[in-house]
Amino acid sequence: MNKTKRIIIAGLLACVFIAGICVQAKADPYEDMVKKFSKSAVTLSNRKIAVIPFSYVDGRKSSAGVIISERITTQLVNQNAFEVVERAQLEKVMKELNLQSSGIMNEQTTKEIGKILGVEAIITGSLIAKKQGVVEVNARLISTETAKVIAAHTMDIPKDWMEEGEREEPSYADQPYGQPAVSEPYYAPRTKGKNEYDFIEIFYTSDMPGSGMNLKFSNSGSYGVKLADIGITGSTLKFTTVEENGIPEKQTIPALFRFGSIMNYFGIGMEFFFHKYSTVASQGIATIKKDGVEGSLGTIDDYILVTTFGFALDLMVNVPVGPVDIYGGGALGMSMNSYYTECMLGFTQSTASYTWPCEESLLIGFCYRFPMVGARIHFNDYIGCTIEYSYLENMFDFTRGIESENDTLKTSIWQLQAGVSFFMR
């Protein structure tokens, strides 16, 4: 791999890391709801509406209904989707109608609010408290003329506000005498939504048909590439370049570990994999090139044994379908490699001679996984399983200890992977 290729791959790797940071930005659920209602309200003429405070289905007293209605109002104004009645004017009318700020509306009160305020529709709905500080919002856009529902939308939001009495008073025991009391600002912890979670996965991988290994030997010096030195016995020929493409391989120790986060429709993760490969005997896979002349040769079992430890940044597009998350994406990373072969001759610096076997270690390479498609099945909130199909390519350079040589080994592997998944919400 020459210097230019290294720079290009390093640049791509940097772009992937930057993109991984960018995808962490998540869509505003209120914005999605307003866009949906705006499309559904095409029949409204003046597009003037009122937002009624929401209420919990279990009747509990809470400021959540007013807070959520205020956030919806802000999005309506920001998107210029509707003309919204001010809250003070709405509260005055609701008081005249002997309605509390509960969001509980019937056909008669809906029509009366429409006539008094001159609005064609109202937005209201119910709230359901879920586990781990998540609130389910069921919103409805209702016509004030017919009291029929024009559109409905459900979303999960984190409860990031404080109810009355929840905040603990700060202690001023250590406050210096005579100094004004200063309290620390309170930051409510963010709660993950329904389709947001962290995960850890452990896979077992299996090679699929189409996997193989490519070897390229290049030596521009006077010594050249001698066929006998790379395990092709019975030949004294030497060439500038020898390529062996599509060598069948077998995987002996497959392992993959991945952790990351899913944020609704996007995901980011880091994977670590460990593989050991060896070749399988075949015929007609070596291509010798010199002055346009080509020929074919074969290899034997365990012609070369390769060990790879790699890591890569994963980017995923996630589509939740009930308890199953279907995802697709790719990964880009680096690898640390070593190889061992009793079929190649290598130069030993300590003895200044060519000897068998040949081996090198700590060889840095580049790897990518694309395409990558899979399904993550949730048994419950904490555990599940994942099935994935992907293509993994890893490439590194080696020299057999010869200064004028520049050799390349590339593994191209189609993998079917199955593993157990652990979720943190």
> What CATH number is attached to the domain comprising 349?
2.40.160
Indicate if 309 and 409 belong to the same structural domain.
yes
Across 56-70, 235-249, 383-397, the highest mean pLDDT is recorded for: 383-397
Section 137-148 average pLDDT = 90
Section 258-270 average pLDDT = 94
pLDDT, tens digit (0-9, with 9 covering 90-100), for 190-242: 556 678 899 999 999 888 888 888 888 888 776 677 777 777 665 666 777 77
pLDDT of residue 235: 60
pLDDT of residue 100: 55
Query: 3-state SS of 387-420?
Result: EEEEEEEEEEEECCCCCCECEEEEEEEEEEEEEE
**Poorest-pLDDT segment among 167-181, 182-196, 292-306, 374-388:** 167-181
Question: Considering only CA atoms, which of 310, 309, 328 is closest in space to residue 318?
Answer: 328
Tally the domains of the chain.
Answer: 2
Q: Which residue has the higher pLDDT, 44 or 157?
A: 157
81 pLDDT tier (thresholds 50, 70, 90)? confident
Distance CA 15, CA 368 (A): 14
Q: Is 126 exposed, middle or buried (0-12, 13-18, 19+ CB in 10 A)?
A: middle
Q: Give the pair of three-digit tokens for residue 55.
A: 């209420």
In a domain, 401, yes or no: yes
With vertex at residue 257, the alpha carbon angle to CA 384 and CA 254, rounded to the nearest 5 degrees, is 110
Phi (first) and psi of residue 394, to 5 degrees: -130, 135
Name the helix (H) or strand (E) containing 117: helix 107-117
Indicate if 318 and 203 belong to the same structural domain.
yes
Q: Which residue has the higher pLDDT, 100 or 94?
A: 94
Question: Considering only CA atoms, which of 251, 219, 252 is closest in space to residue 344?
Answer: 219
Section 235-254 average pLDDT = 74
Task: Out of 104, 138, 158, pick the residue that ends a domain.
Answer: 158
Q: Is the pLDDT of residue 338 over 60?
A: yes
Q: Which residue segment(s) compose the domain that 259 sits in?
A: 195-424
In a domain, 166, yes or no: no
Q: Which residue has the higher pLDDT, 366 or 29?
A: 366
385 pLDDT tier (thresholds 50, 70, 90)? very high
The CATH number of the domain holding residue 87 is: 3.40.50.10610
Indicate if 138 and 247 belong to the same structural domain.
no
348 pLDDT tier (thresholds 50, 70, 90)? confident
Task: Out of 139, 158, 177, pick the residue that ends a domain.
Answer: 158
Residue with tokens 């040769």: 297
pLDDT of residue 22: 46
28 pLDDT tier (thresholds 50, 70, 90)? confident
284 pLDDT tier (thresholds 50, 70, 90)? very low
Indicate if 334 and 229 belong to the same structural domain.
yes
Section 249-271 average pLDDT = 89
Phi (first) and psi of residue 71, to 5 degrees: -70, -35
In a domain, 140, yes or no: yes
Indicate if 239 and 299 belong to the same structural domain.
yes
Name the helix (H) or strand (E) containing 311: strand 305-321
396 pLDDT tier (thresholds 50, 70, 90)? very high
